[in-house]
Amino acid sequence: MEIDARGPRFAAAVTTVVLALALITQSAWVLGWQTLAFALGAAGGVSRSPYGRLFRTLVLPRLGPPTEFEAPEPPRFAQSVGLLFAGLGLVGFTLGPAWLGLAATGAALAAAFLNAAFGYCLGCEMFLLLKRVTVRTE
């Protein structure tokens, strides 16, 4: 079953704000929240993440019917990639080195911003590339 493409893009916009705040403040608590949000999105899909739920309950009722749909697997994989980078950032902010926290959080922020601003999901593209490579080698 395909999902409304506006949901992951909304989640990316909220993620962009949260990651920017985490990067500016270098707060392990803020990045910890985003790491949890990524973990829930990776485990249950984007629609079960906190931002997916926010989209479904507060934003979607105010929008018209969706015109663009996408498979749920690529955004779910993107959440896993975000989880990896946020986890690395969390290690950097809590245990050091600080540059690891800054670099990993900055990379996650860049990817979230690309999705929010331009609809280009790096994690989704990684998923599709890996899927093509896997199909060719089988």
**pTM score:** 0.93
Q: What is the pLDDT of residues 28-79, one digit of tens each?
A: 999 999 999 999 999 999 889 999 999 999 999 999 999 999 999 999 999 9
Candidates 96, 127, 107, 121; CA nearest to 34 is 107
Strand (E) or helix (H) holding 88: helix 73-94
What's the pLDDT band for 138 if we cut at 50, 70, 90? low
Let me know the angle formed at the C-alpha of 90 by 77 and 28, rounded to the nearest 5 degrees. Answer: 125
